[in-house]
Structures are given as structure tokens and as C-alpha cells.
């Protein structure tokens, strides 16, 4: 199978790499800050990346509709993050919350196929069938595979499951909103509108005392670095959508490959081990990404013979 590395594919992989690296850095401070404080640091980190796109901002003009979609994308992403925090704070088990919320590409795929009318070939469909299980396998929580009975018995109609489903939906719609944003404005302006939304919400968190800003210099530095990496991942994903990447493909490729980068880096720098389930997940994620990036060759119509 020959797969041409279109720009959107490279941007999707870059997004996965930045988010995967963010996952490792975020682990270093996860026990020191709340998700609200983490979001403030995330916003600070994104502001640091603005000089990278200033030149491109001057060469393109935004419009009101695109900015509106970009602002909405930021609200959706942050709401999903807060919903996950609420799921854990109301008794949610990581073994269920993480695999469930990591299935958000399914929501994006649904929106892309039903609303955006995107078309996938049969090889792409196989890629989705490989990538989605890979996302669950690489979630770091293997209860579903080690004891499926216990996993499904733990699921009931309770508040933490509802919060998990809210995160699942909001993250999925967030990715779809990213694609819609780039239909009207450039990736750079999409990113700026996302940052504006994120910073506004961060200020709300600080104003209402939700974010505790008393932290060590090390935590501030690592948190800002994590935010910078996360922001670059958002920028790369906007670039992938802007480069004609389909929402159903970009989201699934980035979502499947992100934990691959996190796991590999954690093994190298944090001396973590690799389980059989994670090994299989990495294989499925890579094969799934390859098949999702495949485009059927276009057939040229045969010239009609004419009589002289």
C-alpha cells in the first residue's frame, strides 16, 4: 500500500507528538496542581507560543464567523477537561473514566460523516476499526482487558459516568469545531481565537478562587512547558484541518498516536514498563494511522474515440 504523506498527515502526526510529549511532562506535576490551576498554566504556555505565528497573522484576515467557532472550540475543550475532573472527584474510577473519555474520536467521526458529509474509503474504515481499540488499549487502564466482567459491573447510571460522557461528547465536538473553524479562517487565527477563549476561562478560574496559584518555581516552569506543548499540539491540529485534513481522519490519527508517543517517552525518561496490551495497542495505532491516511488513486476518464 502506497500512502502519500500529505501535509495534513504530517500535521496530524506532529499534533500527536506534541500532545504525547505533553502527557509525559504533565505527569510530573499532576499530583501538585488541580485541573483548574493546570488550565491556567496551560493558557500561560500557549501565550508563549504566540511569537511563532505573528508573521502569518499579518498576512491573513480573520472573519467574525471563524473567530466565533474558534472561541467555541476553546469553551468545548475546557468544559471537557473540567467534566473529567468532576468525574474523578465524584468517585469515578480511572479504569473506566479514562478509556470511556478517550473514545471521543467516535463522536468526531459521527459529526464528520453525518454533518460534514465526509467520505471514507473501505481502507479508511478498517483504520478506524483498528485505531479506536488502540486508543482504549493505550489509555493506561487495562481493567477492560484483564477483567471485563468487573469493568462492566462498575458501570452504572451515576454522576461520575455522566460527567465522563459529557467529556466524551464535548471533546468530540471540540475536534469537529476545530475543522469548522478552519473553513473560515487560517490555522493561525483559529489558534489565536482558541487562546483568547482559554485565557478568558483561566481568568474566571482565578477570579472565583478555583485555581490555587501558590506553587513552586519548578511546578510553574513544568506547567508552562506542558501548556506550551499542548498549545503546539492544538496549533498543529488546526494546521492539519486547514490543510484539507478530514475531521474523521485527523482526530483519529492524532488520538491514536498521542499515547504512543507518551508511552515511548515514559519508558525512556521515566523508566516505565510496557505491557502486552500496550504493545498491541501501539501496533494497532500505527497500522490504523497508516490505513486512515490512505487515499484511493483517482482514475482518469478514458478519452472517447472519435471517427474522422
pTM: 0.89
User: CA-to-CA distance for 162 and 213, rounded, in angstroms?
Assistant: 29
Stretches where the chain sits below pLDDT 70 are 1-4, 140-144, 147, 151-157, 298-308
Q: Which residues contact 233 (CB under 8 A, 6 or more apart)?
A: 14, 15, 16, 17, 18, 19, 22, 254
Asked if residues 23 and 262 have their Cβ atoms less than 8 Å apart, the reply is yes
Residue 88 to residue 85: CA distance in whole angstroms: 5
Sequence-distant (6+) residues with CB within 8 A of 158 are 90, 91
Burial (Cβ within 10 Å: 0-12, 13-18, ≥19) of residue 238: buried
Contact predicate 223/29, CB 8 Å:
yes
In sequence order, what DSSP letters do the residues of 94-124 get, joined into one string?
Answer: HHHHHHHHTTHHHHHHHHHHHTS-----HHH
For residues 163 and 84, the answer to whether their CB atoms sit within 8 Å is yes
- HSE (side-chain half, CA atoms, 13 Å) at 105: 26
pLDDT at 1: 47
Contact 250, 118 (CB under 8 A): no
Q: Give ∠ CA 80-86-90 in degrees, rounded to 5.
A: 150
User: Is the Cβ–Cβ distance between 39 and 231 less than 8 Å?
Assistant: no
Q: Rounded CA gap, 194 and 184, in Å?
A: 14
The whole-number pLDDT of residue 142 equals 64
pLDDT in tens, 60-103: 888 999 999 999 999 999 999 889 888 887 887 777 788 888 88
Domain boundaries, the chain: 15-292
**Alpha helix positions (H), 90-216:** 94-101, 104-114, 122-137, 143-146, 148-153, 159-182, 187-207
Helix H, strand E, coil C: the string for 266-304 is: HHHHCCCCCCHHHHHHHHHHHHHHHHHCCCCCCCCCCCC
Q: What is the pLDDT of residue 256?
A: 92
> In this predicted structure, what is the pLDDT of residue 7?
94
Residue 124: the pLDDT is 93
What is the Cα–Cα distance from 20 to 255, expressed in whole angstroms?
10
- Evaluate whether 36 touches 211 at the Cβ level (below 8 Å): yes
| pLDDT at 272 (0 to 100) | 80
Amino acid at each position: 500500500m502506497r500512502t502519500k504523506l500529505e501535509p495534513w498527515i504530517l500535521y496530524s502526526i506532529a499534533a500527536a507528538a506534541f500532545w504525547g510529549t505533553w502527557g509525559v511532562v504533565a505527569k510530573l506535576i499532576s499530583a501538585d496542581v488541580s485541573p483548574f490551576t493546570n488550565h491556567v498554566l496551560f493558557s500561560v504556555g500557549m501565550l508563549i507560543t504566540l511569537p511563532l505565528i505573528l508573521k502569518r497573522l499579518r498576512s491573513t484576515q480573520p472573519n467574525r464567523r471563524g473567530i466565533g467557532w474558534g472561541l467555541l472550540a476553546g469553551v468545548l475543550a475546557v468544559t471537557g477537561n473540567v467534566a473529567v475532573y468532576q468525574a474523578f472527584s465524584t468517585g469515578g474510577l480511572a479504569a473506566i473514566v479514562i478509556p470511556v473519555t478517550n473514545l471521543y474520536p467516535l463522536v468526531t467521526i459521527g459529526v464528520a460523516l453525518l454533518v460534514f458529509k465526509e467520505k471514507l474509503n473501505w481502507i479508511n474504515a478498517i483504520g478506524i476499526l483498528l485505531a479506536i481499540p488502540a486508543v482504549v488499549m493505550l489509555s493506561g487502564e487495562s481493567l477492560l482487558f484483564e477483567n471485563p466482567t468487573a469493568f462492566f459491573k462498575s458501570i452504572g447510571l451515576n454522576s461520575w459516568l455522566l460527567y465522563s460522557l459529557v467529556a466524551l461528547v464535548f471533546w468530540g465536538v471540540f475536534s469537529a469545531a476545530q475543522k469548522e473553524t478552519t473553513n473560515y479562517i487560517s490555522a493561525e487565527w483559529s489558534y489565536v481565537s482558541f487562546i483568547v477563549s482559554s485565557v478568558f476561562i483561566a481568568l474566571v478560574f482565578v477570579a472565583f478562587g478555583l485555581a490555587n496559584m501558590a506553587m513552586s518555581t519548578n511546578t510553574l516552569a513544568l506547567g508552562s512547558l506542558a501548556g506550551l506543548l499542548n498549545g503546539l499540539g492544538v496549533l498543529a491540529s488546526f494546521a492539519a484541518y486547514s490543510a484539507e485534513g478530514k475531521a474523521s481522519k485527523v482526530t483519529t490519527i492524532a488520538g491514536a498516536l498521542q499515547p504512543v508517543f507518551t508511552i515511548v517517552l515514559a519508558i525512556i525518561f521515566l523508566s516505565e514498563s510496557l505491557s502486552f496490551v500496550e504493545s498491541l495497542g501501539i501496533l494497532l495505532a500505527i497500522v490504523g494511522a497508516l490505513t486512515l491516511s490512505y487515499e484511493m488513486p483517482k482514475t482518469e476518464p478514458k478519452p472517447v474515440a472519435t471517427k474522422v
